[in-house]
A and B are shown apart, each in its own frame.
Chain A
Amino acid sequence: MPELLKMEKIGASYGSVQVLRDVSLELGSGEVLCLLGRNGAGKTTLLKTIMGLVRAISGSILLDGMELTRLPPHEVPRHGVAYVPQGRRLFAELTVAENIEIGLMTRQKGSETREAVLDLFPVLRERLGQRSGTLSGGEQQMLAMARALATEPKVLLLDEPTEGLMPSAIAKIRETVAALRAHGVSTLLVEQRVDAVLPVADRVLFIENGRSVRTIGVAELRADPAMVRHYVGVG
């Protein structure tokens, strides 16, 4: 599998507190790589560093061979990295249609992309004029994904997309990730719960105390569940 996103020995810090140390990862084209780790292990910071929202102090991030770490934050999404932040972070006062419009504007996509995204989440089509802050949790998550997909990304970063959702909504998100994978979109997925990951991921990367400690295939992980307990602390 040709690698699309390559992260080499990335270090990042908030002020004087170093959060990431020498994190390396490779994401193949059309692959779903899941980041697993305890709370505070640095998973969210890792995604923010890719987006340029947290500055890398060392190392490099290459997208298709292009250096991302020197770009100002607003340039990163224009090169094809889309971000679904933890807690969704919708523009709550804006309507559903306006949220999608902001996604479309990122890489100057038109009505064709908009239709494709709405076909993926038909429930949003019925709510285009509604203020996005008034949607249900599951609908908000779908909108956050729709907004990101409206950029037609090469790489999608998903930060705990199933957090706090009902089982039916979780199933829908999982289905979508699988469908995107079938379309060749590479996904970096942050999750806390391993059972939400196994059905959709190709490989799993364990993060511990801001370091990337181990990458393994999903089949291997299924065979050895003890590993999850060791790195994540829960079954």
Chain B
Amino acid sequence: MAFGPHLLLALLEGLVSSAVLALTALGLSLVFGVMRIVNVAHGEFFMLGAVFAWWFSSMIAGSPALGFLLALVLAPLVVGAIALVAERLVLRRLEYDPEATIVATIGMLYIFEQLALMFYGPEARAVPAPFDFRVTLPWFGYSGYKLAVIAASVLVMLATWYVLTRTRIGLVMRATQYDRETAQAFGIPVGRVYAGVFALGAMLAALAAVLIVPIQQAHYLMGTDPLLLSFIVVIIGGLGSLRGTVLAAVLIGLTEGIVAVFFSPTLAKMLATLFVALVLVFRPQGLFGQAPR
């Protein structure tokens, strides 16, 4: 393949990674932004999303489209419910203490991982794509499903942005983020807001995973990479900044796509880590974060 088409292919692959990464990182960023909790188990919600996607879609044999649709609706809901229980049982009892919750979510990471190993097993399993339409370009054919993943991610981002900035629920979330005590003095049930945000964050990760399983198989250890990359994205983009999270996800996703195609995936990871180091040294609040006043 000539250089031009090769680059286009790398860009498209990069955009698909960006799309999935942006959703996952958005969940992590929301949870940190509103609750000030570093959720180390975030990648496991991604993994659980993928595992449940396989489970739901394999319940309907014969019709990949219907099975996928079922997974798309139910997997995030189930993962959200699991997150809600974890929040009530663990995080709330720790009174959302920043350090204690890091240790607690590390524990949750291993519990979820081992439960997945026990009940789902060590196999990697694929979910059939809901459709296998191919877009024919002059140089190569490209999966229509992958393009749909990009579009779906953009839609979910826009919906999240709308909820956060234009609705009462979003206003309540932002007020809780800026001043928890004063929010309570204005009738905002902070505990319930936290529970909802934690579930929402997990659901975004699960949704990203459902989108990726037709491309990449479901496996019980698949949560590690998204967790690391989400942290990278959130640090580069600036904590609590939606715009920063999206742009950093595109930056990291594209770099990964291009560098992995032309050089090696390891070099891509090294570059991403180097970005983080540079950002932390020269702009610790992130590219779009606001320095504390």
Known contacts A91-B174, A91-B175; A103 and B186 CB within 8 A of each other: yes
Assess whether A94 is in contact with B185, with CB atoms less than 8 Å apart: no
Taken together as a complex, chains A and B put the C-alpha atoms of A8 and B185 apart, in Å, by 22
Taken together as a complex, chains A and B put the C-alpha atoms of A76 and B189 apart, in Å, by 11
Taken together as a complex, chains A and B put the C-alpha atoms of A94 and B186 apart, in Å, by 15
Contacts of A181 in B (CB 8 A): none
Count A/B pairs, Cβ under 8 Å.
Answer: 65
Assess whether A93 is in contact with B186, with CB atoms less than 8 Å apart: no
Assess whether B168 is in contact with A105, with CB atoms less than 8 Å apart: yes
Closest 5 A-B residue pairs measured CB to CB?
A106-B187, A73-B184, A83-B185, A89-B182, A74-B189
Determine if A217 is an interface residue (Cβ-Cβ < 8 Å): no
Known: A73-B184, A106-B186, A133-B293. 20 other contacts (CB 8 A): A53-B185, A72-B189, A73-B185, A74-B190, A85-B182, A89-B179, A89-B182, A91-B183, A92-B178, A93-B174, A98-B174, A101-B168, A101-B171, A102-B171, A102-B186, A102-B188, A105-B186, A105-B187, A106-B187, A151-B186
Taken together as a complex, chains A and B put the C-alpha atoms of A72 and B181 apart, in Å, by 12
Give residues of chain B (167-220) contacting chain A, Cβ–Cβ below 8 Å: 168, 171-172, 174-175, 178-179, 181-190
Q: Shortest beta-carbon distance, A19 to chain B, in Å?
A: 16
Known contacts A92-B293, A133-B293; A78 and B174 CB within 8 A of each other: no
Assess whether B178 is in contact with A91, with CB atoms less than 8 Å apart: yes
Taken together as a complex, chains A and B put the C-alpha atoms of A72 and B188 apart, in Å, by 11
Assess whether A91 is in contact with B182, with CB atoms less than 8 Å apart: yes
Known contacts A101-B171, A102-B171, A102-B175; A74 and B187 CB within 8 A of each other: yes
Q: Mark B139-181, 1 if CB is under 8 A from A, else 0.
A: 0000000000000000000000000000010011011001101
Contacts of A74 in B (CB 8 A): 184, 187-190
21 contacts between A and B (CB under 8 A): A52-B184, A72-B189, A74-B187, A74-B188, A74-B190, A75-B187, A76-B185, A77-B185, A83-B185, A85-B182, A91-B178, A92-B178, A94-B171, A94-B175, A94-B178, A101-B168, A102-B175, A105-B168, A105-B172, A105-B186, A107-B187
Known contacts A102-B171, A133-B293; A53 and B184 CB within 8 A of each other: yes
Known contacts A93-B178, A101-B171; A147 and B184 CB within 8 A of each other: no
Determine if A51 is an interface residue (Cβ-Cβ < 8 Å): yes
Q: Shortest beta-carbon distance, A104 to chain B, in Å?
A: 10
B187 in complex: contacting residue of A78, A85, A92, A101, CB < 8 Å: A78
The binding surface of chain B is classed by DSSP as helix
Give residues of chain A (65-124) contacting chain B, Cβ–Cβ below 8 Å: 72-78, 83, 85, 89, 91-94, 98, 101-103, 105-107
Q: Shortest beta-carbon distance, A91 to chain B, in Å?
A: 5
Q: Mark A192-220, 1 if CB is under 8 A from B, else 0.
A: 00000000000000000000000000000
Taken together as a complex, chains A and B put the C-alpha atoms of A72 and B185 apart, in Å, by 10
Contacts of A75 in B (CB 8 A): 187
Beta-carbon nearest neighbor of B182 in chain A: A89
Q: Shortest beta-carbon distance, A81 to chain B, in Å?
A: 9
Taken together as a complex, chains A and B put the C-alpha atoms of A101 and B187 apart, in Å, by 12
Known contacts A53-B181, A105-B168; A147 and B175 CB within 8 A of each other: no
Taken together as a complex, chains A and B put the C-alpha atoms of A151 and B186 apart, in Å, by 8
Taken together as a complex, chains A and B put the C-alpha atoms of A101 and B167 apart, in Å, by 11
Contacts of A94 in B (CB 8 A): 171, 174-175, 178
Contacts of B181 in A (CB 8 A): 53, 85, 89
Contacts of A76 in B (CB 8 A): 185
